[in-house]
Amino acid sequence: MAAKDFSFTNQKQETDIKEKQAIIAVDAESDTKMLEQCLKPIRYRILCKTRNGNEAVEMARKHKMGLFFLDYDIATLGSMGVLEKIRVNGEKIKVVVLAKKLDKEQVSNAKKRGVVGFLAKPLNEEAVKKVLSKLI
């Protein structure tokens, strides 16, 4: 192929790369493994796996990504604190919150902060794939 056939400035390529990356900020190792298992076949790259809200914010600011899986009870900042900090710079990140149980007020607050999906813990493959199919 000739060099002219390749385009390194194509906006779609940049968007595809961004959208094919994810951060997993979840406290349970089993949930992290389930997310990895569901993301791998659809060729998502995991940028970071953490159990710490501050680290999750740092990684979200440092990297461009399409998906962010966030435990509602993430250590240090809590999910709402993480959401406030990552939304400051206006990034359009698809955030999915994981929780054992959320009441209507918690769901409403999360949606106001841009959360696009929810998963019940412990995770199961069918539920994760259903959410992913709606987001990608």
Determine, yes or no, domain membership for 52.
yes
Strand order in the sheet with 45-50: 45-50, 21-25, 67-71, 94-99, 115-120
Does 72 fall in a domain?
yes
Number of domains comprising the chain: 1
Q: Residue 85's domain is classified under what CATH number?
A: 3.40.50.2300
Residue 43 half-sphere exposure toward CB, CA atoms < 13 A? 5
Q: Residue 135's CB: how many other CB atoms inside 10 A?
A: 12
Per-chain mean pLDDT for the chain? 84
Cα torsion through 50, 124, 118, 53, rounded to 10:
-10
Residue 105 lies in a domain: yes
- Has residue 31 got a pLDDT over 90? yes
**Confidence band (pLDDT; 50, 70, 90) for 90?**
low
How does DSSP classify residue 26?
A: -
Domain that residue 47 falls in: 14-130
Asked if the structure places residue 6 within a domain, the reply is: no
- Say yes or no to pLDDT of 8 above 80: no
Tokens of 19: 């959208």
Q: Which of 90, 68, 87, 70 is closest to 78 using CA atoms?
A: 70
Looking at the chain, the whole-number percentage of residues with pLDDT higher than 90 is 62
> Within the chain, what is the greatest distance between any pair of CA atoms?
58
**31 part of a folded domain:** yes
Please compute the mean of the pLDDT values over residues 55-72 and round it to a whole number: 90
Element (H, E) at 70: strand 67-71
Q: Is residue 135 one of the residues assigned to a domain?
A: no
Q: Cα 57 vs. chain centroid, distance in angstroms?
A: 11
Residue 3 lies in a domain: no
**Within a domain: residue 121?**
yes
